[in-house]
A = this chain, B = another copy of it.
Amino acid sequence: MTIRRRQFLLAAASVSVAASGISTAEGAQKKIPLRCVGVEEHFSIPEIVAAMRSANRVYSNDLDIEYLYATAPADLAQTEAALVDFETLRLPAMDQAGVAKQVLSLTAPGVQVFKPDVALEFARLANDRVAEVVKRHPDRFAAMVALPPQDPQGAVAEMERGIQKLGFNGFIINSHTHGEYLDQAKFWPILEAAQALDRPIYIHPRSPSPAMAAPMTDYNMSGALWGFGVEAGTHAVRLIASGTLDRFPKLKVVFGHMGEAIPYWLSRLDINAVPGADSRIKNQLLPSEYFRRNLWIAVTGMPDPLVLQYCVKKIGADRILWSTDYPYAPAAPAVQLLDDAGLTDAQRELISHRNAESIFHLT
């Protein structure tokens, strides 16, 4: 989660053209070759936007907040406006870009920066609010359950409510919580619930946990430039090497940003994490084998046809989901990516929507 001035302006420009009505009409006439379903599409609610600026967020030493509020005030206000909107800006932007559906998630760092009681309250509020949006536009929106990992019992109750009562389709967790990771036993009830409810956990980046952040605090490196990937990639390796994915063999986990570089490192991970080769590593399968069972990636923020080609060859088109990172990045490059990567029609169908429909149980 970041505010990138240039990208936001691009997105905003595309919105304003769409809002004029002209391009929306053109969009409707234009042949849209694929049903594009985005799985990393963010929202917020005014109460959380306000609380992020207030004394409510005193739970941990959060580099995300520092990063966020280093943004120019005008850019920040524009992004906040885009986050809390659904009908005025968002639907026209989706129409303009050819996005059929967004699977909505509370924007990073979610409720993970709040004290546990406040966090649960905000998660419930955000879930209730976005449930109304999905109810109004069931053909255009689905949603992931926001939850407070710092309150595992409360999180599990909200996960069950989100799937069983509100009809949501997955869970969003923004990497570390108070410097701790999901392989740690205190969080296992959350993983158990996700497995039992048969819905994926989307592990979204946030700025690196405090015990890892220092060398990434210079040169704006703590966010999208570098720290997000280190943080979420480290989380992925912890889930693999800890044996957590053996404990929950049917757990489905999605990582954005083309898998946070894990697909690139995969052969080296396989060489250095051979099951049983070292008493410190606990995984029972090779890292690459979890990509055939537990792990998926999304194309978020990496509109690079060469990277997508590589990932299709390395982990298979059936493990790759489409996404735009709304409102932090424009959708057009992500749509274009599907045309530029030399994919077969079957691969384009899988990546643009079929994989998402399958693992999130979208209807």
Contacts and interface: CB of A to CB of B under 8 A. Distances in A.
Interface string A285-329: 000000000000000011110110110011000000000000001
A69 interface: no
Interface in A219-267: 219-221, 223-226, 229-230, 233-234, 237-238, 241-242, 257-258, 261, 264-267
Contacts of A281: 219-220, 225
Given A220-B241, A267-B307, A272-B225, A5 B277 contact: yes
Interface stretch (A115-123, A209-217, A352-360): A209-217
Q: How many copies of the shown chain assemble into the complex?
A: 2
Max chain B C-beta neighbours (<10 A), residue from A212, A258, A273, A314:
A212
A12 to B, nearest CB: 16
Given A215-B209, A230-B230, A310-B306, A241 B225 contact: yes
B212 A215 contact: yes
Contacts of A176: 215
Interface of A: 2, 4-7, 70, 176, 179, 181, 183, 208-209, 211-216, 218-221, 223-226, 229-230, 233-234, 237-238, 241-242, 257-258, 261, 264-269, 271-274, 277-278, 280-282, 301-304, 306-307, 309-310, 313-314, 329
Contact of A234 (B226, B267, B306): B226
A311 B83 CA distance: 37
Contacts of A278: 5, 220
A256 to B, nearest CB: 11
Given A219-B241, A221-B234, A257-B268, 19 more contacts: A176-B215, A179-B214, A212-B212, A212-B215, A218-B238, A218-B280, A219-B242, A219-B282, A220-B280, A220-B281, A221-B238, A224-B271, A225-B241, A226-B269, A230-B230, A261-B265, A267-B303, A268-B301, A306-B310
B211 A215 contact: yes
25 contacts: A4-B272, A5-B278, A6-B274, A6-B277, A176-B215, A183-B218, A211-B213, A212-B213, A212-B216, A215-B234, A218-B241, A220-B241, A220-B280, A221-B234, A221-B237, A225-B269, A229-B268, A258-B264, A261-B261, A264-B307, A264-B310, A267-B303, A271-B329, A307-B310, A310-B310
Leading 7 A-B pairs by shortest Cβ distance: A211-B214, A219-B241, A267-B304, A220-B280, A264-B264, A225-B272, A310-B310
A316 to B, nearest CB: 12
Contact of A237 (B2, B223, B225, B238): B225
A247 to B, nearest CB: 14
Nearest to A269: B225
Nearest to A71: B278
A238 to B, nearest CB: 7
